[in-house]
Amino acid sequence: MSNISPGSLYIAATPIGNLSDISARALKTLSDVDFIAAEDTRVTRKLLEHYQIKKPLISYYKHNSRESGEKIVSRILNGESCALVSDAGTPAVSDPGEELVRLCISNDINIIIIPGPCAAVAALALSGLGSDRFTFEGFLSGEKKKRSRHLEELKAEKRTMIFYEAPHKLMRTLKDMYETFGDRNVSISREMTKIYEETLRMSLSEAISHFTDKAPRGEFVLVLEGCKSDPVTDNKIDDAIDAVNKMISAGISVRDAVKKAADEFDCSRNVLYKTVVSGSDDHY
């Protein structure tokens, strides 16, 4: 018996590699909807054939999202049910499916989620890095300026960051990250749930060295350690230290100099004092 609601969109997660990872509910949904909107019909057809499911497919990807989206919505508004799938994982996460979801929302269409695999969450769980707070950043731009701007905006981000990357762009991304963030810890997962699944946990410099010797293969998820300090605060402390040293050279006592500089640069007197004193034995 079908539990499909007519005139609804079903967001159905599919395996990211191992076909056994699809849920029973997802299979039932794919079997019972009127049609399936697929990012790549060839990829989805292989999945359906594996589970002996015969269902009409409609192509829905980045370059036809507007035209195809309108057709899909029109059919749903006429009472048909549709399952949205991506090539792998959860639709509408870093793929054009989000546009179809918004279009359905604007047309008051009922939307049901069929949860399942997600590469970002799987890689985070494997990383060993902080998972209580994290941010998903998807793919970085292929344009140097946009990519640099994106990374610069994340320089002070304290949450764990998750990125997707293609093999031919991996080295460029690792080098840009090293240049922007310094030598932070990173977990790099590739081919998750597949035969050659691998997760490397190392520093960015070690990752650059590793993939210099071994060409990247497969699709990658990078889980990057967040910032452990606040660059803005660090800059204030540095400026305050310079001010303190100038005042000391002018004959002002350490305590008075620290007090004035801490007030001027809005930073902690205790931290500033300890930093200044630890750097010199001349002014106790």
Q: How far apart are CA 272 and CA 1, in angstroms?
A: 71
- Tell which of 90, 117, 144 closes a domain: 117
Which pLDDT score is estimated for 65? 93
Tell how many helices (H) and how many strands (E) occur in the chain. 11, 10
CATH number (domain holding residue 33): 3.40.1010.10
Q: Are residues 259 and 180 in the same domain?
A: no
Q: 270 vs 69, which has greater pLDDT? A: 69
With a cut of 70, say whether residue 203 has pLDDT above it.
yes
With a pLDDT cut of 90, the percent of the chain lying above it is: 80
Q: 266 vs 92, which has greater pLDDT? A: 92
With a cut of 50, say whether residue 283 has pLDDT above it.
no
Calculate the average pLDDT of the chain: 92
- Mean pLDDT computed over 148-159: 94
> Do residues 114 and 26 lie in contact, with contact meaning Cβ atoms separated by under 8 Å?
yes
Which pLDDT score is estimated for 174? 98
Which pLDDT score is estimated for 275? 81
Asked if the structure places residue 189 within a domain, the reply is yes
Which pLDDT score is estimated for 1? 65
Asked if the structure places residue 2 within a domain, the reply is no
Counting the structural domains of the chain, the total is 3
Which pLDDT score is estimated for 237? 78
Which pLDDT score is estimated for 125? 98
Which pLDDT score is estimated for 228? 85
Which pLDDT score is estimated for 234? 59
Model pTM score: 0.78
**Residue 280 neighbours by CB under 8 Å, 6+ apart:** none
**The pair of three-digit structure tokens given for residue 243, joined into one six-digit string:** 């001010």
With a pLDDT cut of 70, the percent of the chain lying above it is: 95
Asked if the structure places residue 159 within a domain, the reply is yes
Q: Report the chain's terminal Cα–Cα distance, integer Å.
A: 83
- Tell which of 199, 224, 249 closes a domain: 224
Residue (of 40, 24, 20) closest to 32 by Cα position: 24
Asked if the structure places residue 1 within a domain, the reply is no
- Tell which of 77, 92, 117 closes a domain: 117
Quote the domain boundaries for residue 98: 8-117
Asked if the structure places residue 284 within a domain, the reply is no
pLDDT digits (tens, 9 = 90+) for 248-268: 999 999 989 988 988 888 777
Helices in the chain by DSSP H: which ranges?
24-32, 41-50, 65-77, 97-106, 119-127, 144-153, 170-181, 204-213, 231-249, 254-265, 269-278
Q: Are residues 218 and 169 in the same domain?
A: yes
Asked if the structure places residue 92 within a domain, the reply is yes
* Rg of the chain on CA atoms, in Å: 26
pLDDT grade for 129, boundaries at 50, 70 and 90:
very high
Phi, psi of 107 (to 5 degrees): -105, 15
Asked if the structure places residue 15 within a domain, the reply is yes
Residue (of 134, 141, 122, 129) closest to 190 by Cα position: 122
pLDDT digits (tens, 9 = 90+) for 204-230: 999 999 999 999 999 999 999 999 865
From residue 129, how far is each of 183, 187, 226 by CA, in Å? 15, 8, 9
pLDDT grade for 3, boundaries at 50, 70 and 90:
confident
pLDDT grade for 239, boundaries at 50, 70 and 90:
confident
pLDDT grade for 282, boundaries at 50, 70 and 90:
very low
Which pLDDT score is estimated for 94? 86
Q: Are residues 93 and 135 in the same domain?
A: no
Asked if the structure places residue 47 within a domain, the reply is yes
